[in-house]
Amino acid sequence: MERTTKTIAIANQKGGVGKTTTVVNLAAALAARHRSVLVVDLDPQAHATLGLGLEKQAGVSMYAVLAGGRDIADVIQPTKWNNLNVIPSEVDLAGAELEFGARPDRLEMIRNALAPVKESGAFDYILLDCPPSLGIVMTAALVATDGVLIPIQAEFLAMDGLALITGSIDRVRRGPNPALELNGIVFTMVNFVAKLTHDVMAEVRGHFGDRVYETLIPRNVRVSEAMSMGTPVVYLDPRSKGSEAYKAFAWEFMAKNPTRFSAPKQTPPPAAAPHEDKPDEAQRDHTVASVGADAPADAPVA
């Protein structure tokens, strides 16, 4: 049986909005729910790589695949946690905008590189952590993906920032990736006491409706501490507000983005399909180990 792989780019041309934090903790929460996840770090700053407890390593990156012709299978790194893998970044990706700009396949390069990984059926989700610019790497990521998840902060000019990124999505949809979807918008670092927060959230919801995720990620110091310690907060401090929020977000994300085995459907369908809408129950048959609902997928392998 094969798994269908959903590829989602986490993008916003603005830096510091919580893209990388969302990638790391969504990935960790999905992995803890027995989903097989690959994070692709496309930002030369390599914060996702570091946040998942890996070191930067020359030649082990998407850059090495795109520019150096390395086999993508050789750069997929396991993390300390079950079901959670990463293609790291390295500084060379910083020069990539210039270098890649001249390539005839610059728009399709990431899609082509990821094709064998998608086809292998090894992952439920591939999450692409995009650099904070509307350049070649981010555009190529939009071409390579099924959907775009936009983390934003509920602050002044949020709608203007959204117009820029949704404009990019529209251009890619009219061109190389007609199937590209706006997967959703998620509010990060929410400050619940500020009135502006609620005004901005209402405005964004008014415009984007149910494409805005219900789950709000609060500002929580444990989230940033965890990143600097190379451990996702959902593993480091499962009971913290930030962890609870990212776990709730992962549930909402799974419900919105189910991945299903491509086995033939049963006919006739069972009288009741009680597990149909419960992501947690849906794919038990490929779990590696059964763990407590809120526990990390596995203890670190030291």
CA-based nearest residue to 249, from 14, 33, 15, 39: 33
Q: Among residues 20, 79, 257, 283, which is the contact residue for Mg ion, using CB under 5 A?
A: 20
Instruction: Choose the stretch contacting ligand ADP; rule: CB under 6 A; options: 15-23, 203-211, 274-282, 293-301.
Output: 15-23
Is the peptide bond between 232 and the residue preceding it cis, with omega within 30 degrees of 0?
no
Structure tokens at 227: 């990143």
- Is residue 17 exposed (0-12), middle (13-18) or buried (19+ Cβ within 10 Å)? buried
**Residue 22 beta carbon to ligand ADP: minimum distance, rounded to whole angstroms:** 7
**Residues in region 168-227 near Mg ion by CB under 5 A:** none
β 147-152/77-78 pair status: unpaired
Per-residue x/- mask for Mg ion, residues 32 to 71, rule CB under 5 A? -----------x----------------------------
Q: What count of other Cβ atoms lies within 10 Å of the Cβ of residue 155? A: 14
Neighbours of 49 (CB within 10 A): 28
What single letter denotes the amino acid at residue 183? N
If contact means CB under 5 to 8 A according to the sort of partner, which of Mg ion, ligand ADP, none does residue 18 touch? ligand ADP
Residue 182: CB minimum distance to ligand ADP, A:
17
19 belongs to the binding site for Mg ion (CB under 5 A): yes
- Rounded Cα gap, residues 210 and 199, in angstroms: 17
Sites for ligand ADP among residues 201-220 (CB under 6 A): 217, 219-220
Nearer to ligand ADP, 37 or 130 (CB): 130
Residues contributing to the site for ligand ADP (CB under 6 A): 15-21, 47, 132, 188-189, 217, 219-220, 223-224, 227, 242
